[in-house]
Amino acid sequence: MRHIISILMENESGALSRVAGLFSARGYNIESLTVAPTEDPTLSRLTLVTRGSDQVIEQITKQLNKLVDVVKLLDLTEHRHIEREMMLIKLKVQDADQRAEVMRMAEIFRGHIIDVSAATYVVELTGDSDKLDAFVESMSHFEVIEVVRSGVMGIARGDVALKL
Amino acid sequence: MELTGAEIFVRCLQEENVDTLFGYPGGSVLHIYDALYRQDKVEHILVRHEQAAVHAAEGYAKSTNRPGVVLVTSGPGATNAVTGIADAYMDSVPLVVFSGQVPTSLIGNDAFQEVDTVGITRPCVKHNFLVKDVKDLATTIKKAFYVATTGRPGPVVVDIPKDITADKCEFQYPRSIKMRSYNPTVKGHPGQIRRAVDLILSARQPVIYSGGGVILSNASRSLTELTRLLNYPITNTLMGLGAYPSSDKQFIGMLGMHGTYEANMAMHHADVLIAIGARFDDRVTGNIEKFCPNARIVHVDVDPASISKNVKVDVPIVGQVDSVLKAMIKEIKAGERRPDPEPLENWWKQIDEWRSMDCLKYDRDSELIKPQYVLETLHRLTQGDAFVTSDVGQHQMWTAQFYGFDKPNRWINSGGLGTMGFGLPAAIGTQLAHRDETVVCVTGEASIQMCIQELSTALQYHLPIKVVALNNRYMGMVRQWQEFFYQGRYAMSYMDALPDFVQLAEAYGHVGMRIESPGDVEGALKEALDMKDRLVFMDFITDQSENVYPMIPAGAGQNEMILL
């Protein structure tokens, strides 16, 4: 099953490679990984998406907790939660019809066109991973020049929180 | 007063009561060596290779339960230490390894003797640090000792760039340390302890399976008390030998690949398994699908990640072994309930039947020296009271089977990583920690050559180690597997062009003996053990064809042993 694990860790060089190294050393897979400092500059929040049986996920969370730089973690998929991912997608648009269609689709998906050139549009889109996949799918008859995705981040609903 | 980083380093070791430091100098640690030169509280032991420094520190740590401390230079100093660090990681040995690093201004420039030590050691340390400011040095060292010795112990590496050791700041050693990201559990959950005791007392065919965690947690006494209180059979892992007296009638031997028939059969037929400070290693479980098919399992371990890693358990208890065992004993003693004597009696009858197979038998009338006989004789002459280190292979298994450890911290071997070359340097560290005790290194002619240069260290520090080399002219365990599983194609396992070990020992300034007939074994051992102030290298020419029995072949179940 797919799990989103959010980790608070010491904002120190090497902390990220400890997490990444753990996954490669123990043969776990990482689908996506995103990391940035939090409002407390001594802490980083890392969110990763992984897949595995319950037993594998249990080991992953235990092994992560064992890393000395990991302060606290939360498996968001065990709680009601919101997940978001951001995508920037650059499309070739060659005529007015194509421009109109991209604008219309972007609007349907609640995206924005954030860059325009003579032959390209860049669309910014936020949502869960399925929604981004669906947008890429719906653009299949366009020439997609490049796609960049942030990786998944998430937050629990209600009172549940990952904080110290 | 302001001190240099190098002086701070030395003061920190003194604050941690480090009496022995194993190391080898080099460019980036010269300031530190200069500071060591100007003090006399920390004794520095100069090894001949950095790998040996780490193994020696492991021997020191395993035989004392105090952290072993190592100092190596940058680059090759650090990479040579990696095998030892990985070894300590696998066996949960508390170590603090300091490595020099090129000056901060040169890091990343491919400078002379530069290597990314923190990166290279990351997967085989409990934690590691790169010190970037002299102001952080004392706190980092405090953290390193704290992390290495608490929770599940392990090696911690502290990488110190050369300029940091010259920089100055005020020295103050922190009294205590708190880390928000590191809080090992000590006490077991009371509810889980009650559930465990309920299950334990309901057992009809119980086995206590205890490992190295008992020794690391100084829990040997509590383990013995609990085992006797219950009158249950107990087996020890390779790492756990000595935690329960092997001469006791409740001890059913080591378990696992080369464990006793009775231990493995008892495991296979157990209805309740009480795992204490053991980690269900593949050499213990054999085929996991066939492991303890009928048992409900209690597992006590300080490391939550060890629980349900290989085998799903029914009652997990995270906590320090000694603390949990004491709580269990208290819980049992407070209640009326005791194990049902009748099924237990039948269980013991069954175990005695398995015991009567005498699975460790060997040919006692052979005209060749049987390695088992050497170890039995060694046990008898030392009253089972020596500190015994070993290398890796057949001789290691025979020592585990035949030496018979009655006390903890006496059996010092490389269990997890299986590092040939471990034995001699480990004996050096052990002897340094126990100057007046008998320290024996049991080895083979192949293993000993992997760190034989340490004979020189042993001479320099007057360490009267007794080296028992079981010389069968083969990498014995490799040969055994080739005999069993490769139709006797002995690829590269024959040890050709061996040195004359007697002359070699003498060249290093020690006493050498060659023993070629069974009738001379006891006399030679006696003579060697009587030489209290000399290292004696005993080269026992043993039966080349001898194999370690019993054996569970890889992939087989515990009840599928090969017996002699």
- Mind listing the pLDDT tens digit for each residue in B405-463? 999 999 999 999 999 999 999 999 999 999 999 999 999 999 999 999 999 999 999 99
State the average pLDDT over residues A135-143: 95
A58 with A20, same domain?
yes
Q: Catalytic pick from B7, B16, B50, B445?
A: B50
A15 with A37, same domain?
yes
Amino acid type, A68: V
State the average pLDDT over residues A62-68: 97
B305 touches chain A (CB under 8 A): yes
Residues of chain B in contact with residue A65, where contact means CB-CB under 8 angstroms, are 304-305
- Taking one residue from A and the other from B, the number of pairs with CB-CB distance under 8 angstroms is 40
Q: Is residue A55 part of a domain?
A: yes
Of the candidates A10, A21, A58, which has its C-beta nearest B122's C-beta?
A21
Cβ separation A58–B308 shorter than 8 A? yes
Q: Which residue has the tokens 């606290």?
A: A72
Tokens representing A131 are 């929604």
pLDDT > 90 fraction of chain A, expressed in percent and rounded: 98
Residues of chain B in contact with residue A68, where contact means CB-CB under 8 angstroms, are 126-127, 147, 179, 181-182
| Domain of residue A130, CATH code | 3.30.70.1150
DSSP state, B188? P
Cβ separation B305–A68 shorter than 8 A? no
Q: Among A78, A107, A136, give the residue marking a domain's end.
A: A78
State the pLDDT at residue A109.
97
Of the candidates A62, A69, A71, which has its C-beta nearest B305's C-beta?
A62
A71 with A86, same domain?
no
Say how far apart CA B257 and CA B291 lie, in whole Å: 12
Which helix (H) or strand (E) is A143 found in, with range?
A: strand A143-149
Residues of chain B in contact with residue A18, where contact means CB-CB under 8 angstroms, are 122
State pLDDT tens for residues B173-197.
999 999 999 999 999 999 999 999 9
Q: Is residue A33 part of a domain?
A: yes
A97 with A70, same domain?
no
Question: CATH top-level class for B190-355?
Answer: alpha beta
Cβ separation B122–A65 shorter than 8 A? no
Say how far apart CA A149 and CA A143 lie, in whole Å: 18
Cβ separation B304–A71 shorter than 8 A? no
- CB neighbours of residue B273 within 10 Å: 27
Shortest alpha-carbon distance between residue B305 and chain A (Å): 5
**Proportion of chain A in helix, strand, coil states, percent, rounded to 5:** 30, 40, 30
State the pLDDT at residue B314.
97
State the pLDDT at residue B541.
98
Residues of chain B in contact with residue A62, where contact means CB-CB under 8 angstroms, are 304-305, 307, 309
Task: Print the domain residue range for A147.
Answer: 82-151
Q: Is residue A68 part of a domain?
A: yes
Q: Is residue A111 part of a domain?
A: yes
State the pLDDT at residue B564.
85
- Give the bridge partners for A113, in sequence order: A123
Q: Among A28, A60, A78, give the residue marking a domain's end.
A: A78
Q: Among A45, A78, A111, give the residue marking a domain's end.
A: A78
Q: Is residue A50 part of a domain?
A: yes
B371-541 shares the fold of B2-170: yes
State the pLDDT at residue B73.
98
Annotation marks residue B328 as catalytic: no
Amino acid type, B221: R
A58 with A104, same domain?
no
State the pLDDT at residue B26.
98
Cβ separation A63–B308 shorter than 8 A? no
Structural domains in chain A (count):
2
State pLDDT tens for residues B148-168.
999 999 999 999 999 999 999
Q: Is residue A126 part of a domain?
A: yes
Rg (CA), chain A: 19
What's chain B's average pLDDT?
97
Shortest alpha-carbon distance between residue B300 and chain A (Å): 16
Annotation marks residue B113 as catalytic: yes
Cβ separation B123–A68 shorter than 8 A? no
> Over 90: is that where the pLDDT of A13 sits?
no
State the average pLDDT over residues B35-57: 98
Q: Is residue A142 part of a domain?
A: yes
Say how far apart CA B437 and CA B481 lie, in whole Å: 36
State the pLDDT at residue B1.
87
Task: Give the domain ranges of chain B.
Answer: 2-170, 190-355, 371-541
State pLDDT tens for residues B202-241.
999 999 999 999 999 999 999 999 999 999 999 999 999 9
Q: CA-nearest residue of chain A to B305?
A: A62
Question: Does residue B371 have a cis peptide bond before it, meaning omega lies within 30 degrees of 0?
Answer: no
Of the candidates A14, A59, A69, which has its C-beta nearest B181's C-beta?
A69
| Domain of residue A43, CATH code | 3.30.70.260
State the pLDDT at residue B132.
97
State pLDDT tens for residues B104-144.
999 999 999 999 999 999 999 999 999 999 999 999 999 99
Cβ separation B305–A164 shorter than 8 A? no
Cβ separation A70–B181 shorter than 8 A? yes
Q: Catalytic pick from B39, B112, B179, B531?
A: B112
State the average pLDDT over residues B66-80: 98
State pLDDT tens for residues B331-357.
999 999 999 999 999 999 999 999 999
State the pLDDT at residue B128.
98
A134 with A67, same domain?
no
State the average pLDDT over residues B58-67: 98
Cβ separation B181–A71 shorter than 8 A? yes
DSSP state, B285? H
Q: What is the dihedral sign for C-alpha B72, B77, B81, B82?
A: positive
pLDDT > 70 fraction of chain B, expressed in percent and rounded: 100
Q: Is residue A72 part of a domain?
A: yes
Annotation marks residue B537 as catalytic: no
Of the candidates A55, A68, A164, which has its C-beta nearest B127's C-beta?
A68
- Among 3.40.50.10190, 3.40.920.10, 3.30.70.980, 3.40.50.970, what is the CATH number of B2-170? 3.40.50.970
Cβ contact B374:B468 at 8 Å: yes
Q: Which residue has the tokens 């005695």?
A: B352
State pLDDT tens for residues B265-301.
999 999 999 999 999 999 999 999 999 999 999 999 9
pLDDT > 90 fraction of chain B, expressed in percent and rounded: 99
A87 with A139, same domain?
yes
What is the architecture, at CATH level 2, of domain B371-541? 3-Layer(aba) Sandwich (3.40)
